[in-house]
Structure formats: structure tokens, C-alpha cells
Structure 1
Amino acid sequence: MSDDLVVERSGAVATLTLNRPESRNAIRLEMYAELPALLRGIDDDPGVKVLVVRGAGTKAFAAGADISEFGRVRADAESARSYNEHVAAAERALEGMAKPTVAMVHGHCVGGGCGLALACDLRFCDTNAGFAITPAKLGLVYSLESTRRLVDLVGPAQAKWILFSGGRLDADRALRTGLVDAVTEPDALAEHTYSFAELVATRAQYSVRAAKQIVNRIVAGQLHDDAETTELRNSSFDTDDYAEGVRAFLEKRPPRFTWS
């Protein structure tokens, strides 16, 4: 793993930091290429229950892809195709994690940075945050998968405004449109984000991950239970956490869940 991606763990919460503060955490091709394996490792770590994704410092989550390397890594249709495949694989890996993910957005969140934030389950930002998706400023086309994530959050009309204009959404508009889920003052963002992550880490993890699967299936168009969702629900009754949850409720104490 390069120094441009840093993983740290505090208790059951892991943090993935885009670590290029000198370039407002602009994302290089190598970083996209490394993300799938790195995220699999976090998902496979039984000690991690929640992942927070952030940019180094407080000026930017990520200012987008590193355009300075486009002349080399996107010089023609063939290299651009390979580049796009790496970006898609990184975003899919983040979106596909079994564990819950939260993007913590200080400052600028643009282009490819916004793509990674959209692939997280939730997005918390500070009042200085600004969001933009800018293919129309570069003569590029946003992928269907990335566009789908945007439409799922803000709806088709707002998605068209964002993509047609390449315009910036401030924190208030991002909250109103559903692009983000919470806005705080800059000095309160980390406390708010990690308090939420630590709260989720105390919940029954089988329940949390099953809920994530089911919500994602609904977003993808599933309307009725099938064998897999029925099994998810029924299997919860066989877990130690179910027994502990009922016992803790009756004993009027916090539950001590162990499933990971």
C-alpha cells in the first residue's frame, strides 16, 4: 500500500485516509488500483465494524482525480478505458462492502472524490464543504454506475442539474437535496462522525449488515422478499446476539453483542 492511502484503527472503527494534502487529496490512478484489495482486507477483518473514509487535513475530502497525470494515464481511448475500469472497480469495492461506511467530508469534494463519497453508505460534512461533479467541464462522460448512485440520492432532476452544469453545491444545498446526511461546524465534524460510527459499532452487526443488504436490494428494484432475504431474517433468530439482545432488554442493561 502506498503512503497515499492510510488505514488506521481505533477500537472497532477503521479510518481510510486519502493522504495527499499537498494536492487537496487528488486521487492518482495507483490509489484507485490499490483500493479494491485494501477494502477487502478491511471487510475481512473481524475486529472492524465500521469504516470512515476521509481526506487528510481539513481543506478537502478529495479535489477529484489527479488531472496532472491524465496526459499519461488517459492519453488515448485504450488507456482511458483501463483508467475508467480502475475507477469503477474502486467505487464498486467501496459500495459493495458488507460493513457500513461513512464519508467524512471536510471542504472540497469534487469529481472522483465525490464519486468515492457517493459509494459510501452515508456522508457527513462540515459547513465549508462544497460538492461538484465536473465531467461537463472536461469533455468527459460520467459512468452509468456513478450516475445511478447520484440519482439514487438526489433524484433525476437534481442529478441533471449537477451533471449539466458542473456547478458547486454548498453544504446547505447538499443537505437539502439528500447528497449528504448531516452538516456540522468544521470543528465538530470528527466528533459527530466518530460518535455515530462508534454507536453503530455497538449494535448487532448481523442486523446492521443484513439491513444494508436489504436496503441495497430495494434501491436496485427488489419489491418482495425472496429466499435470500427470508433466510437473512429467519437466521437472525439463531444468533447469539438475538438471545443477548432480548436478555439485555429484559434485564434493562446495554447489550453486549459479539457477532462479527
Structure 2
Amino acid sequence: MIDITKDGGVWTVTLNRPDKANSLTRAMLEDLSQAAEAAAREAARVFVLTGSGKVFSAGADLDEARAGLATDPVWERLSGAIAALPCLTIAALNGTLAGGAMGMALACDLRLAVPGAKFFYPVMKLGFLPQPSDPGRLATLIGPARAKMILMAGARIEAAEALAWGLIDRICPPETLMTEVAALATDATAASAAHVAGIKAMIPD
């Protein structure tokens, strides 16, 4: 349910469970974490997260969430592994981003989304706490009040508003999303892994 391709220093990791809106099982989260950790070991220069179908991810698989996945530390392991990558990380959001899946996108350096994407994190409604790092990363991007709108008021944000807030960095038509990602990856791909890591280390989170 996770596909990984490697091409010239670019790792593309695709959530591939479109029949379930790419909802995340524990096994998928483990595979994603291991992919990010492997990309660090193997000196990837660009790491891309995307999904198959029309939804990036609906968050946790509901059956597994009820069985304890919603509060499993694997979510924090995943977002931490992505945040620690010494390369350019890009979330290519092919559709809606919801719930705990927000964490992996927040941990990326750049977020691109299609026009129809929506963004929401219904932890207040569902009775769970967000993953520990997510509120801080969210507030850094969009400010404390807007973070509270999403996490506490249950706001559902459309792509245009997400762009205006700074939650995403660019809106791309679905047919050109990955072309745009490739263009953004060009300079890092042509550089050495050490150079990519050196520039990233100079930019504060």
C-alpha cells in the first residue's frame, strides 16, 4: 500500500490505497517511517510524498484508529523522520489531507496541492489529542489563531484559503502537479547530497 520509486536522487513515496481514500494503517505508517529513514541513510536529495487517486489521505484507518492507532507513537516517528531528513522534502497533495495524515505534510519543507484539496484535523470532534509535534508545526506555518481554528474549531480549509494562510505553498492542476514537483526538485537533484543538506541546515524551522 506504499509505493517507492527512486530516480536520480529523488525518492517518491506514494500512498496507494485509493479504495479507502488512502487511510493509513499501522503497517503503512511503519513503511513510510522506514522509507524516510532509508532516504536519510542513502543520501536522497529530494523526498516526495504523494497519493494515488483523488484523496491524499483521509487520516487513520477507522477500524485501526478505534483499536488504538490514533494515539500510537508511530505517527510521531514518521513526522520526526521526515522533519529530520537533510534533503528537500515536498508533499504533493493530490487531494484532501485530513486527520493524522496532516503530520507528515506539516513536516515537509514544501506543500503543493490541487485546487480541490481540503484540509481538516478533527481531533476535537473525535476526542483525540493531535500528535505532539503537529500543533507547533501548524502554528509556525499559519499562526496560533488559525491553528486553533483547525484543531479546536474544526475548520475545514479550502485550497485557496490554505494558500493565503501559508499552509500550502502553491496550487497546481492535477495534471501538472508532479511536473511542478519535478521542476522544484531540479536544482537539488543536480547538487551533491552534502550541499543540499548544508543549505537546509542554514534555514531555521
- What TM-score bracket applies, with the shorter chain setting the length? over 0.9
Instruction: Check if 1:184 corresponds to 2:172.
Output: yes
What SS does the aligned partner of 2:67 have?
Answer: helix
Instruction: Check if 1:71 corresponds to 2:59.
Output: no
Give 5+ residue unaligned stretches, structure 1.
75-79, 220-260
CA RMSD of aligned residues (A): 1.7
Query: Partners of 1:162 and 1:73 in 2: how far apart?
Result: 23
Q: Residue in 1 aligned with 2:190? A: 202
Measure how far apart 1:72 and its partner are: 2.5
Measure how far apart 1:204 and its partner are: 5.0
Q: Which among 66, 88, 95 is matched to residue 107 of structure 1?
A: 95
Could you tell me the percent identity over the aligned residues? 32
Q: Which among 17, 20, 37 is matched to residue 17 of structure 2?
A: 20
Query: Partners of 2:75 and 2:140 in 1: how far apart?
Result: 19
One-letter amino acid matched to 2:98: V
Q: Which has the higher contact order (CA 8 A, sep 6+)?
A: 2
One-letter amino acid matched to 1:6: D
**Structure with max Cα Rg:** 1
Residues 127-164 of structure 1, C-alpha deviation per residue, up to 9 Å, x if partnerless?
11111111012011113311111011101111111112
Residues 39-68 of structure 1, C-alpha deviation per residue, up to 9 Å, x if partnerless?
22122224x3111100112x1111111112
Q: Output aligned runs, 1:132-151, within 5 Å.
A: 132-151=120-139
Is residue 110–residue 168 contact of structure 2 (8 Å, CA) maintained in 1? yes
Measure how far apart 1:174 and its partner are: 0.6
Q: Which among 68, 76, 81 is matched to residue 88 of structure 1?
A: 76
Q: Output aligned runs, 1:1-260, within 5 Å.
A: 4-46=1-43, 48-57=44-53, 59-74=54-69, 83=72, 85-215=73-203, 218-219=204-205
Give 5+ residue unaligned stretches, structure 2.
none
Q: Residue in 2 aligned with 1:237? A: none
Greater helix content: 1
Query: Partners of 2:59 and 2:66 in 1: how far apart?
Result: 16
Does the C-alpha gap of structure 1 residues 153 and 50 become closer, same or farther in structure 2, counting only changes over 3 Å?
A: same
One-letter amino acid matched to 2:108: C
Is residue 51–residue 102 contact of structure 1 (8 Å, CA) maintained in 2? yes
Structure 1-normalised TM-score?
0.74
Query: Partners of 1:197 and 1:38 in 2: how far apart?
Result: 18
What SS does the aligned partner of 1:165 have?
Answer: coil
Structure 2-normalised TM-score?
0.92
Query: Partners of 1:144 and 1:95 in 2: how far apart?
Result: 13
Is residue 12–residue 198 contact of structure 1 (8 Å, CA) maintained in 2? no
One-letter amino acid matched to 2:63: S
Query: Partners of 2:15 and 2:26 in 1: how far apart?
Result: 13
Aligned residues: 205
